[in-house]
């Protein structure tokens, strides 16, 4: 279990116990229509990529992505007692790729080396349905929507440039894809809630690496699956 998962587990246990002690009845008319949430994304990648293709690239050259975490923020607009719209975004996390395939390319180490770093801005818009009514302290919810991802601060590391044969420019296309979420909301007080959820979104990009005019390409599916624990305030 990594540190992010341990922190989320401890937080979820604590807020669950607190919610059982502090929850109080509330009517639907008493709840304000807006909600702001702040918490932690723990992002787990279940990505795949085609083998890198291009000049002087041997068979089987690929890479994987390190899991990461970042801050989560969201604005929620309540439409009815059971339906709400969520606009969620995280502080753009630093994501690293690691070589997978041959132990070395020529005399340059490859497998296991950190090759690239990038940050990505990835807002998501969701339409959600919460079960039961506002008098219920613990409410499950489901949501569907769309995700947009833009990659920036794209760089090859020293080992990545060495494996590519010299200084290399990295390009990643933007992505638009479906997103789904499911979770639980615990009411601590009429305006205060704690949320725990699991999400999935389809994030696909075309990678292009330019080393002095030599172009290598691949297609990547990141499939990020974040676990989120957050506090919410209704206003």
Q: With 60 as the cut, is the pLDDT of residue 22 above it? A: no
Question: pLDDT band for position 5 (50/70/90)?
Answer: very low
**Contact at 8 Å (CB) between 160 and 190?**
no
Q: How far apart are the C-alpha atoms of 187 and 15, rounded to whole Å?
A: 10
What integer best gives the mean pLDDT of the chain?
89
Q: Which domain holds residue 220?
A: 3-24+32-234
Select the more confidently predicted residue: 228 or 7.
Answer: 228
pLDDT tens digits for 24-83? Answer: 455 556 678 999 999 999 999 988 999 999 999 999 999 999 999 999 999 999 999 999
Query: What local confidence, expressed as pLDDT, does residue 151 receive?
Result: 97
Q: With 60 as the cut, is the pLDDT of residue 176 above it? A: yes
**CB contact set of 122 (below 8 Å; sequence gap of 6+):** 89, 90, 92, 147, 148, 149, 150, 201, 203, 224
Give how far Cα 130 sits from Cα of 63, 137, 168, 186, Å: 39, 12, 48, 12
pLDDT tens digits for 109-121? Answer: 999 999 999 999 9
Please state the pTM of the whole predicted model. Answer: 0.83
Q: How far apart are the C-alpha atoms of 137 and 102, rounded to whole Å?
A: 53
Query: H or E segment at 96?
Result: strand 94-100
Q: With 70 as the cut, is the pLDDT of residue 196 above it? A: yes
Q: With 60 as the cut, is the pLDDT of residue 7 above it? A: no
Query: What local confidence, expressed as pLDDT, does residue 208 receive?
Result: 97
pLDDT tens digits for 119-167? Answer: 999 999 999 999 999 889 999 999 999 999 999 999 999 999 999 999 9
Averaged pLDDT for residues 14-22: 45
- In degrees, to the nearest 5, what angle opens at C-alpha 212 toward C-alphas 211 and 218? 30
Residue 4 φ then ψ, to 5°:
-60, -45
Q: How far apart are the C-alpha atoms of 175 and 166, rounded to whole Å?
A: 28
**Contact at 8 Å (CB) between 222 and 173?**
no
Closest CA to 220 of 149, 169, 123, 138: 149
Residue entry with tokens 């992010």: 4
Query: What local confidence, expressed as pLDDT, does residue 6 receive?
Result: 45
Q: How far apart are the C-alpha atoms of 88 and 100, rounded to whole Å?
A: 32
Find the range with the poorest average confidence among 4-18, 132-146, 194-208: 4-18
Tokens of 132: 């039961």
- Name residue 163's beta-bridge partners: none
Q: What is the SS3 assignment for 109?
A: strand
The Cβ of residue 137 has, within 10 Å, a number of other Cβ atoms equal to 18
> How many structural domains comprise the chain?
1
Tokens of 170: 């990295």
Query: What local confidence, expressed as pLDDT, does residue 30 receive?
Result: 66
Query: What local confidence, expressed as pLDDT, does residue 134 receive?
Result: 87
Q: How far apart are the C-alpha atoms of 194 and 166, rounded to whole Å?
A: 49
Give how far Cα 105 sits from Cα of 4, 99, 101, 102, 212, Å: 34, 11, 10, 7, 18
Q: With 70 as the cut, is the pLDDT of residue 182 above it? A: yes
Residue entry with tokens 């991802």: 149
CATH number at residue 159: 2.40.160.20
């Amino acid at each position: 279990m990594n540190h992010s998962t341990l922190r989320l587990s401890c937080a979820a246990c604590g807020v669950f116990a607190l919610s059982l002690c502090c929850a109080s009845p509330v009517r639907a008319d008493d709840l304000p229509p807006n909600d702001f949430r702040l918490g932690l994304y723990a992002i787990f990648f279940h990505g795949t990529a085609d083998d890198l293709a291009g000049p002087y690239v041997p068979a089987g050259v690929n890479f994987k992505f390190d899991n990461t975490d970042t801050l989560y923020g969201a604005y929620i607009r309540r439409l009815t007692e059971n339906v709400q719209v969520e606009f969620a975004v995280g502080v753009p996390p630093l994501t690293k790729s690691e070589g997978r395939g041959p132990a070395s390319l020529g005399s340059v180490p490859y497998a296991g080396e950190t090759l690239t770093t990038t940050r990505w801005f990835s807002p998501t818009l969701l339409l959600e349905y919460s079960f039961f009514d506002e008098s219920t302290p613990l409410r499950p919810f489901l949501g569907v929507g769309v995700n947009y991802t833009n990659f920036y601060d794209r760089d090859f590391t020293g080992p990545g440039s060495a494996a590519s044969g010299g200084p290399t420019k990295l390009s990643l296309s933007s992505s638009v894809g479906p997103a789904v979420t499911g979770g639980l909301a615990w009411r601590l007080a009429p305006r205060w809630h704690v949320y725990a959820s699991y999400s999935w979104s389809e994030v696909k990009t075309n990678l292009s690496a330019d080393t002095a005019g030599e172009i290598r390409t691949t297609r990547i599916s990141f499939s990020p699956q974040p676990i989120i624990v957050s506090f919410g305030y209704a206003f």
